[in-house]
Structure 1
Amino acid sequence: MPADNHPDKHPSGAPWRNFYGRFKGKGLRPSQETYLNEDLARLSPGKVDWETNPERAPLALDALFGGRDVWLEIGFGGGEHMVHQAVQNPDVGLIGCEPYINGVAMLLGKIRDAGAGNLRVHPGDVRDMFDVLPTDSIARAFLLYPDPWPKKRHHRRRFVTPEHLEPLARVLRPGAIFRVATDIPDYVRQTLEQVPRHGFEWLAERPADWRTPWGDWISTRYEQKAFREGRTPHYLTFRKT
């Protein structure tokens, strides 16, 4: 029961936010347990959770990344894209949010292998991260192969809804780039319908602009699954106005 019998509150004091994805899958390998125990706290972006930051004090991003531009990946899956971007862009700081702990463990292993030092990892809901990111603080955001929630009655669970897009628009600076990759046609429809309503301009001028991967793209495990199952990826680029 929520604290103080308040229907909109979590026992921690946080607003009640339904979460529909998975937090953990099959058992972790011993090496992955080691990554979580030894690396996760060190790679934390700061006090994000309500238990550690009930006042929702903003993160000090300049101190965290030395004044570099900051990029945000929303649901990084196994982490291959995030590590790729970190290695290719050492002058940028990256924050990744992923509540699925198996994916977090995979990312931590990739960070060790790559030796990248410009990443921070939040093993939780990006909505909590939105609470503590300063306004106009993020220069680029990625939403890559998000959970499609294919049933019509579940479309409100998708990321491309006002609950997520409003805080995303707040933390992205004017001119920031927002990239969305998906292989689900109806997700494309909802993205093109909803994202421009929240202060974004779709940058496509010709079909190749959404059919062709970005120049710095690395194909992820989710994209490879889409190819195997005969689905066509779409690469949508928006700019915060």
Structure 2
Amino acid sequence: MSDPSDTPPEPRRNFYGRRHGKTLRPSQRGYLAEDLGNLRPHGITAAENPERAPIDPVALFGDDRQIWLEVGFGGGEHMVAMAARYPEIGIIGCEPFINGVAMLLGKIRAAGVQNVSVHPGDARDLMDVLPDASIARAFLNYPDPWPKARHHRRRFVTADHLRPLFRVMQPGAEFRVATDIPDYVRQTVEEGPQAGFVLVDEGPQPWDDWPSTRYEQKALREGRPPHYVTFRR
């Protein structure tokens, strides 16, 4: 089986950010080689689906359960915690950083959760082939802040990402954003409604089922208070 970290990015659009970090441990390379193939949704890449036909969400988990989407799952703490807490739903996680994918796979093994699917790439490639109104909840936790003003267009909370997300979410579905960057909050609450989302709440109080992540703990140690934003589709 080929190493997914050697898979070139889709040539159709620009991608900003890292795909590789420090050298993977042997155990992590084992997770990628042994587990990712069974958890990865098929029909996402141009090679697998050159016509970009919609995929069948039922095929992801074998039934018509609710499907949630996590964009940029980092090390996977939130995704695995939610999968364990809500075994009746299915969660698709997108993450192009292969080290994060390997970390998630290790956590999936340790937790024994079976209601997860892992796309090791750009969330836009997945949203291209998801049917309309197929996602019941979406999460964006501590995304790359791209702090320089000239890089703000690279943030996830722009029309290039939010409009496809709006399309694939069900009416009434919840979209959650967590960040410790005040200017990211500003852009989020400005851009979300422009893409069609309705702002429900924003402030320092997390959701009742929120499991803190390593990025949040780092922000707290460094004196940056977290902020939580909730939209409805």
Within the alignment, does 1:19 sit opposite 2:15 as a pair? Answer: yes
The alignment partner of 2:147 has SS state of: coil
Two-structure CA RMSD over aligned residues (Å): 1.2
Match of 1:4 in 2: none
Deviation at 1:197, TM superposition (A): 1.1
| Residue deviations 1:177-215 (CA, integer Å, cap 9, x gap) | 0000000000000000000111111112xxxx5211111
The alignment partner of 1:135 has SS state of: coil
The alignment partner of 2:67 has SS state of: strand
Measure the CA separation in 2 of the matches of 1:118 and 1:235: 25
How many residues are paired up? 224
Match of 2:3 in 1: none
Measure the CA separation in 2 of the matches of 1:69 and 1:94: 9
Deviation at 1:63, TM superposition (A): 2.7
Read off the aligned partner of 2:161 and give its amino acid letter: H
The alignment partner of 1:203 has SS state of: strand
Deviation at 1:15, TM superposition (A): 6.2
Within the alignment, does 1:51 sit opposite 2:41 as a pair? Answer: no
Residue 155 to residue 28, structure 1, CA distance change in 2 (3 Å): same
Structure 1: stretches of 5+ with no match in the other structure: 1-11
Q: Which runs of 4+ in 1 moved over 6 A?
A: none
Query: Which of the two has higher C-alpha Rg?
Result: 1
Measure the CA separation in 2 of the matches of 1:61 and 1:115: 22
1:223 corresponds, among 212, 216, 223, to: 216
Measure the CA separation in 1 of the matches of 2:161 and 2:11: 14
Match of 1:28 in 2: 24
TM value normalised by structure 2: 0.94
Match of 1:73 in 2: 70
**1:75-224 map, 5 Å:** 75-204=72-201, 210-224=203-217
| Residue deviations 1:42-84 (CA, integer Å, cap 9, x gap) | 0012221111111112121113221100000000000000000
Structure 2: stretches of 5+ with no match in the other structure: 1-7
Measure the CA separation in 2 of the matches of 1:35 and 1:49: 21
Within the alignment, does 1:62 sit opposite 2:55 as a pair? Answer: no
Q: Decide which moves more: 61-70 or 163-172.
A: 61-70
